[in-house]
């Protein structure tokens, strides 16, 4: 089924309200989840709503919350998220980072006392929409081994970067620093697919290919020692520097329903206009894009974000795709909340 994106967002906000999420946070979460589903990031879209509202019910996500925003220096800010939605806290963080960048040329904001923030691409695109380069990072519950180790010590620790293009789109990089994201494990389970060797290991360090076993196993870092280094970078910026939980101090989104996540986020915005006219930057980005995508033989080269932008365009014209099993879960959630859904 494909659903008009305005209708989709309205339904999300109704469900959030019925789940006792305050209007301010509900608006941030609805915007975020809708964008993710429009972009085809369905593992960070409406399918997360049941667990998010479950955490609201247990008090692990505070509603309402009272984020405390501090300016530490002309270009630096910090936010105590008061255990509210990570989606809301990171939105506030990137908004502040862009404001600081508009004033000083660069803005860096650290967030602590937060929860899971979803897809980093959403926040860096906020910067790109303002003609800025964006960077977003967040730490998460330990599920990933150190390079050469077998015990989980780091989260999947996502890192996202954006650079605006002249057509309103952007080069959009959003990746887990693990060999695969935890959401990809759940997706493999739902589709009945096996994992490639080298993504996850068991308690003895043996490879796991059954995604059901991977849930109790340990993920490996992306690209070995290089991914391990990037995961540490994310942990340093989003947790150590911000005052958030480090490594094992972060709660599991699904298992630790009795306590807030204690996640940290790091948001950075760079005002391109301080370096050169934005039009000149666009020209240089397009020159890079041509160099990267010039065909070699019959092989097509695509830029990071191309697939997302194609799906966003399709979602705007045809509606947001919602898969049958997710539709059934959301309708079950709506019944439990006493909300009558009219997708059309």
Q: CATH classification of 66-179+220-304 is 3.30.70.330, yes or no?
A: no
Distance of alpha carbon 258 from alpha carbon 250, whole angstroms: 13
Residue with tokens 């390079």: 147
Burial of 110 (0-12, 13-18, 19+ CB in 10 A): buried
Q: What are phi and psi of 3, to 5 degrees?
A: -125, 135
Distance of alpha carbon 154 from alpha carbon 157, whole angstroms: 7
Distance of alpha carbon 332 from alpha carbon 225, whole angstroms: 43
Specify the pLDDT at position 197.
85
**Angle of CA points 229, 235, 42, to nearest 5°:** 95
Could you write out the DSSP letters of every residue in 252-293? PTTT-TTS---EEEEEEEEEGGGTS-HHHHHHHHHHHHHHHH
Q: CATH classification of 1-58+305-344 is 3.40.50.300, yes or no?
A: no
Within 8 A by CB and 6+ apart from 181, the residues are 43, 156, 158
Range(s) within the chain of domains with CATH label 3.30.1370.60: 66-179+220-304
Task: Please give the structure tokens belonging to residue 321.
Answer: 């795709």
Within 8 A by CB and 6+ apart from 255, the residues are none
Low-confidence ranges of the chain (pLDDT < 50): none
pLDDT digits (tens, 9 = 90+) for 133-183: 999 999 999 999 999 999 999 999 999 999 999 999 999 999 999 998 777
Closest among 96, 141, 95, 145 to 239, alpha carbons compared? 141
Range(s) within the chain of domains with CATH label 1.10.1530.10: 1-58+305-344
The size of the chain, in residues, is 344
Predicted TM-score of the model (pTM): 0.95
Specify the pLDDT at position 297.
63
Closest among 50, 19, 57, 76 to 258, alpha carbons compared? 57
Residue with tokens 């301010």: 24
Within 8 A by CB and 6+ apart from 313, the residues are none
């Amino acid at each position: 089924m494909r659903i008009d994106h305005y209708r989709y967002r309205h339904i999300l906000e109704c469900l959030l309200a019925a789940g006792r999420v305050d209007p301010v946070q509900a608006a941030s979460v609805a915007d975020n989840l809708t964008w993710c589903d429009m972009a085809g990031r369905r593992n960070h879209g409406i399918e997360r709503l049941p667990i998010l509202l479950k955490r609201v019910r247990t008090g692990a996500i505070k509603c309402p919350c009272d984020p405390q925003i501090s300016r530490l220096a002309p270009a630096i800010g910090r936010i105590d998220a008061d255990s509210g939605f990570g989606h809301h806290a990171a939105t506030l963080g990137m908004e502040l980072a862009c404001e600081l960048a508009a004033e000083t040329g660069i803005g860096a904001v650290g967030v602590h006392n937060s929860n899971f923030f979803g897809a980093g691409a959403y926040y860096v695109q906020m910067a790109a929409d303002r003609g800025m380069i964006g960077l977003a990072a967040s730490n998460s519950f330990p599920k990933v081994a150190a390079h050469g180790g077998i015990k989980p010590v780091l989260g999947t620790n996502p890192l996202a970067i954006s650079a605006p293009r002249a057509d309103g789109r952007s080069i959009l990089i959003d990746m887990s620093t693990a060999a695969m994201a935890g959401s990809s494990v759940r997706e493999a389970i739902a589709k009945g697919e096996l994992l490639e060797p080298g993504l996850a290991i068991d308690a003895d360090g043996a490879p796991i290919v059954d995604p059901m076993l991977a849930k109790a196993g340990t993920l490996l870092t992306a690209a070995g020692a290089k991914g391990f280094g990037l995961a540490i970078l994310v942990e340093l910026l989003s947790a150590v520097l911000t005052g958030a939980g480090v490594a094992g101090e972060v709660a599991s989104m699904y298992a630790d329903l009795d306590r807030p996540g204690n996640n940290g986020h790091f948001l950075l915005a760079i005002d391109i206009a301080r370096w050169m006219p934005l039009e000149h930057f666009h020209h240089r980005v397009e020159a890079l894009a041509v160099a990267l995508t010039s065909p070699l033989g019959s092989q097509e080269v695509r830029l990071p974000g191309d697939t997302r932008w194609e799906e966003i365009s399709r979602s705007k014209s045809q509606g947001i795709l919602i898969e049958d099993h997710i539709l059934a879960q959301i309708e079950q959630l709506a019944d439990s909340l006493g909300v009558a859904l009219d997708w059309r």
